[in-house]
Chain A
Amino acid sequence: MNIKAIGVLGWLAAGVLASQAVCLPARATLGEDVATVENDRVQMKAQLRTTTVAGYTVHEIETPANTVVREYVSASGKVFAVSWSGPLLPDFRQTLGRYFDEYNSGASAPRVGRRHLSIERTDLVVNSYGHMRAFYGNAYVPSLLPPNFSVSDIQ
């Protein structure tokens, strides 16, 4: 297990990370419990680092291909947002979990934009941009956003 805890905003004790690491639920991620972060890490064969900001925690997972996936977890333990940046897209079945079908439905609908994706539904917002070798984006569930959380905090 290769967990490194670095970051600028705050720290979770290593013991907390370790206690998460023993949970391996079968499901992930957006809209799910914090324990699924570790499942994502395993699925993505990735490294994890965690930072805590007022009211929520950011779990940063870096895949072997250097794509960074950040999972935003509320104080109540729900993953309410994810973001990604890196040379390859992440596995959205893994990161979006139960919202993957809705993402697919939104992404396959007729649209004006090319090489750019905006999906805005009642319970899922997705923004995806960039180009080959440099992908960026984020997805969140509006109803799960913590109080006082601004979507501009998703990086």
Chain B
Amino acid sequence: MLSVAGCGGGGSSVGNTTPPPTGSNVQAITVDSGPTVVANSSNPAINTLYTTVKICVPGTSTCQDIDHIQIDTGSSGLRIISTVLTLSLPLQKDSNGNTVAECVHFVDGSSWGPLRLADIKIADEVASNQQVQIIGDSAYQTIPNDCIGTATAENTVTAFGANGILGVGPFLQDCGSSCVTAGGAVYYTCTSSTACTDSGMPLTRQLTNPVTAFATDNNGVIIQLPTVNGTTSSVSGSLIFGIGTQGNNGLGNAKVFTVDDSGSLSTTYNNTSLSHSFIDSGSNAYFFPDSTIKQCGSKAKGFFCPSATLNLSATIVGRSGTSAAVSFSVTSAESLLGTGTVVAAASNLAGSSADINTSNGTLSQTFDWGLPFYFGRNVYTAIETKNTSAGMGPYFAF
């Protein structure tokens, strides 16, 4: 069942909290070092959650399984790096017949490519004729200047750290109302593959959370991962589609934490309310402001390197006021990652979301509950406008 137990070096272990669920809505997921080119690089993936997605030319049985697609509750929509794609997918068109391309913003980079159409199959669920962003598409190599200006380009598997990303966050579309009018350097219409112009994009043509296009189990997802004690080389878990739609996806005793229209909730840490906090499977550590914790050196810039493991607590507060105290530990990133063995999962990895030179006070109002938060929990993501037994999304529950 959990064959990964004991794989990691340095006193690691993976605990088993519940038997793996089964059903037509259950997809196997893994934390490992990433696609081969990433795993073998100087920068293998850490705390990155992956799955395999099947995509097909719409309405056909011409399909391809693509592994190491990152699962991200911090975004919406499926994106695939062009170099791993062997299918020829049709281009999405706007109402004028022009093609549509996107410069998607992530915190650490932006990725450029057109929207194409595909049938997306995950577990036994199907999202037919959906937009998929093809990042680094060979036909769209001219990146507009205002896209180049948004952030560093992440248009290859190595730069992206994955073969693609499956955004299953709490929103129907990736960008939403901010992209309905032009000017944000996100959506572009293209009169040719080299002539793309920043344009407003109606919600219905923006990249869509594919879960919402499933015939059933379309109101959210559950990510279920075992406890990780220390470090390990791989972890296996489940991505379960739907909330309260089947016998295997009920909320049970989980508490609901509503989020605002940007996906944020609050976290109280060290008696400070951090109002721009969020839960995000796509972040690979806990990131929070604490100028009293020693920073790492150049090998792990931005991470914490306390001399001994710290046992800490913070309280997550939903926008509707629900709260829960969460305990977590922080171990030196340099000691976690410098063991000489393969480390793909590290439960105590944390870094600063404040300025790294801050000596008095903090800058950040952000507590980023990244993938380590998911270890040993069932974390529910309910999608906006979708009903669940605990009310309408957007919310997280655990």
By a beta-carbon cutoff of 8 Å, the part of chain A in contact with chain B is 45, 63-66, 85, 87-94, 100, 103-104, 107-108, 110-120, 125, 127-138, 142, 150-152, 154-155
Contacts and interface: CB of A to CB of B under 8 A. Distances in A.
11 contacts: A65-B183, A87-B175, A108-B152, A116-B353, A118-B302, A118-B356, A131-B107, A131-B368, A150-B360, A151-B363, A152-B360
Interface string B152-184: 110000010100000101010011101101011
Contacts of B174: 132
Interface string B328-369: 000001000100000000000001111111111111111010
A136 B151 contact: no
Interface stretch (B41-49, B58-66, B88-96, B241-249): B41-49
Interface of B: 41-43, 45-48, 74-76, 104-110, 145-146, 148-153, 159, 161, 167, 169, 171, 174-176, 178-179, 181, 183-186, 261-264, 276, 278, 280, 282-285, 287, 300-303, 333, 337, 351-366, 368, 370
Contacts of A110: 41-43
A75 to B, nearest CB: 21
Given A134-B264, A151-B358, 20 more contacts: A63-B183, A65-B184, A88-B175, A88-B178, A89-B105, A107-B108, A111-B43, A114-B161, A115-B108, A116-B107, A116-B368, A120-B301, A129-B368, A130-B276, A131-B368, A132-B167, A134-B263, A136-B366, A151-B363, A152-B363
Contacts of B263: 131-134
Contact of A132 (B76, B159, B287, B353): B76
Chain B binding surface SS class: loop
B178 A87 contact: yes
A113 B302 contact: yes
B283 A134 contact: no
Contacts of A88: 105, 150, 175, 178-179, 184-186
Contact of B280 (A94, A131, A152): A131
B360 A127 contact: no
Most buried by B among A63, A85, A88, A118: A118
A128 B43 CA distance: 20
Nearest to B263: A133
A125 B355 contact: yes
Given A66-B178, A115-B284, A138 B366 contact: no
A58 to B, nearest CB: 14
